[in-house]
């Protein structure tokens, strides 16, 4: 499988991949009128993908991390619905892996999602 890092938006890293991983178990992702919710912000804003189909990987995911897959038949955009949003990404048709970053807290001895 080939991978190409497209960029990052807040805590999300966007990677274009040539195929979905074999035997990956997935579940549905929440959707709003504006698009698929890729990541929630602690301020109530969301990172959204405006098209395609999105699923979250639930098998073999490191603690504290989320991995999502986006299947785009048509161009779509990754945007943030904040008053002052991060810059967005226009994505061409293809398959994308979106990783939600994590950080390790040595005092709690646990990994957790990075807050944006």
Per residue in 23-38, pLDDT (tens digit) is 999 999 999 899 999 9
Q: What is the pLDDT of residue 107?
A: 62
Contact 69, 54 (CB under 8 A): yes
Question: Could you tell me if 32 and 46 are in contact, meaning their C-beta atoms sit under 8 angstroms apart?
Answer: yes
pTM of the predicted protein model:
0.83
How many CB atoms within 10 Å of residue 22? 6
- For 94, the 3-state DSSP assignment is strand
C-alpha–C-alpha distance, residues 28 and 35, integer Å: 13
pLDDT of residue 112: 47
């Amino acid at each position: 499988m080939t991978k190409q890092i497209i960029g990052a938006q807040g805590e999300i890293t966007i990677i274009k991949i040539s195929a979905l991983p074999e035997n990956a178990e997935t579940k549905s992702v929440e959707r709003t009128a504006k698009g698929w919710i890729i990541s929630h912000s602690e301020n109530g804003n969301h990172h959204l993908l405006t098209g395609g189909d999105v699923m979250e990987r639930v098998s073999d995911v490191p603690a504290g991390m989320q991995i999502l897959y986006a299947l785009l038949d048509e161009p779509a955009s990754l945007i943030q619905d904040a008053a002052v949003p991060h810059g967005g990404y226009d994505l061409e048709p293809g398959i994308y892996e979106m990783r939600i970053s994590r950080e390790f807290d040595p005092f709690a001895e646990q990994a957790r999602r990075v807050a944006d």
